[in-house]
Structure 1
Amino acid sequence: MAGDDFKDFVVVVTGASTGLGRAIAVEVASRGAAAVVINYASNRADAEETARKVEAHGAKTVLVQGDVAKDEDCRRIAAAAEPFGRIDALFNNAGTTTFAAHGDLDAVSAEDFLRLYGVNVVGAFQMVRAARALLEAAPQPGAVVNTASIAGVTGIGSSVPYAASKGALNTMTLSLARALAPKIRVNAVCPGFIDTPWFGKGMGEQAAERVRANAANTTPLKVASTPEDIAVSTVFLASPHSRHVTGETLIVDAGTHLGFAALVAR
């Protein structure tokens, strides 16, 4: 725990039922957040487990089911914070993918691109739009943190549509940081491999174990990152410690990007 730098904050986390979203919600609660709006797409039982972990730190919780690809759902998620009068931090963490070898161009379709962009890019935009007034009502500049990916910087990852969508999210982070300053800060975190059930569900557990072992063996830091490892860096971007940071993409990948060409324009 890093003290009480989120004391009395009102926080919204999309895609918070498991994985990184859950870790973010618990991290801000452990640092003093007063209320956490927990969005989930479909699994209420997992979201309720997140809520129990958050409430163990003394924060209030509000659970909101919703698909961020739908504007009306985004407005409903943001509205859940209205009783608190503001949103201090919005974590656009909801995301989706499809698994396909990058060289197999027939393995993905236009529909795959549209589905991934709908959640990973349009969803984040719609959440910012829906939450804008409440973010501007915060006593300090409201903070938005988009969960992008090292895939959006290096063109790797689970599929071409996924990498492309995360690259678009990084670009949108810059656009919104300019457009919404000085009342709202907008940043993105770019994780590498995160050891969550997501890979097992998408690839099968044996393939996921290979990816996990490969991450631990090949990253310069020789680790397979956990959601908690990434959450502390993600939360930094919404904390008062980063109050002069906006329009930044923070790579948190245990050094994976060091094996690629120089990143001159990230």
Structure 2
Amino acid sequence: MVGGAGAIGASAARQFSSLGARIVISHRDDSREAAAAADVLATLTGEGHVALAADVAQTATLIALRQEIEARFGRLDVLVNAAGFTKPVPHANLEALDDELIDRMFAVNWRGQFAAIRTFAPLLKASGDGLIVSISSIAGSNGIGSSIAYCAAKAGIDVMTKSLARVLAPEVRVLAVAPGVVDSGFVPGRDADFNTRTAATTPLKRIASADDIASAILACATQLGFSTGTTFVVDGGRSL
């Protein structure tokens, strides 16, 4: 679980562990994220799970993570790309979306996802039945999200999913899950009032929980074995 200490990654880790999977959670090398990862580990079913430091924006740390996984476990069957970052910027405020923020947005939300896949592809291919699930967003298709750069990065995830599904087949399937609004602290500044207003305009009359998105990730591994190159929308109908 790359970014497994976040809400969606943590929920996915719990659901996979409940089916007997051994989980590796990656987190950035700082005390706060290490503590969050340790908290997630404490909730997992079974034994042999581990949290290791890596930063998707720093490929060298991903390579070190791959080497550690290979040394400890000898294999990797599923890569969940759950690391992400955003900062709300009104779409009409072009000046506020400066070069530094754009570069950081793509470094974490697109380049980092690709770098993780590039790094772990050899292990996933060696498994013979590997799976990659990246977290996209309906922002990538409707252009409505926390910033224009975030929307563009998520659109890039969808295209990357299609491209890599072709080149990594048949040994590895590549899928993405695109949530709408999720009840988590991922987007700074969104509060209970925002969630309530969003739920009222969503056909299923609620926003997603992290468990909703994690269940879709799990389904990619357990129920959708003949699917690849597809982005599954999990948004309660919000994008309709």
> What's the TM-score, normalizing by structure 2?
0.95
Gaps (5+ residues) in structure 1? Answer: 1-12, 259-266
1:174 aligns with 2:162: yes
Give the Cα–Cα distance (whole angstroms) in 2 for the partners of residues 238 and 114 of structure 1.
32
Contact 1:85 1:137 in 2 (8 A): no
Shift of 1:132: 1.2
Deviations 1:122-176 (A, max 9, x none): 11111111111111121x4200000010111111111111001000111111111
Give the Cα–Cα distance (whole angstroms) in 1 for the partners of residues 157 and 209 of structure 2.
22
Residue equivalent to 2:23 = 36
| 2:166 match: secondary structure | helix
Shift of 1:235: 1.6
Deviations 1:32-73 (A, max 9, x none): 21x11101124111100111111xx10421211221011111
1:247 aligns with 2:238: no
Deviations 1:205-239 (A, max 9, x none): xx422221122211100012110111101121123
Contact 1:144 1:238 in 2 (8 A): no
1:129 aligns with 2:118: yes
- Give the residue type in structure 2 aligned to 1:178: R
Give the Cα–Cα distance (whole angstroms) in 1 for the partners of residues 161 and 221 of structure 2.
14
Name the Cα RMSD after superposition: 1.2
Gaps (5+ residues) in structure 2? Answer: none
Which of residues 195, 202, 205 in structure 2 aligns to 1:222? 205
- What number of residue pairs does the alignment pair up? 236
Contact 1:37 1:80 in 2 (8 A): no
Deviations 1:102-135 (A, max 9, x none): 1111111121111111111111111111111111
> What's the TM-score, normalizing by structure 1?
0.86
- Residues 35-54 of structure 1 mapped to structure 2, 5 A cutoff: 35-41=22-28, 42=30, 43-54=33-44
- Give the residue type in structure 1 aligned to 2:67: A
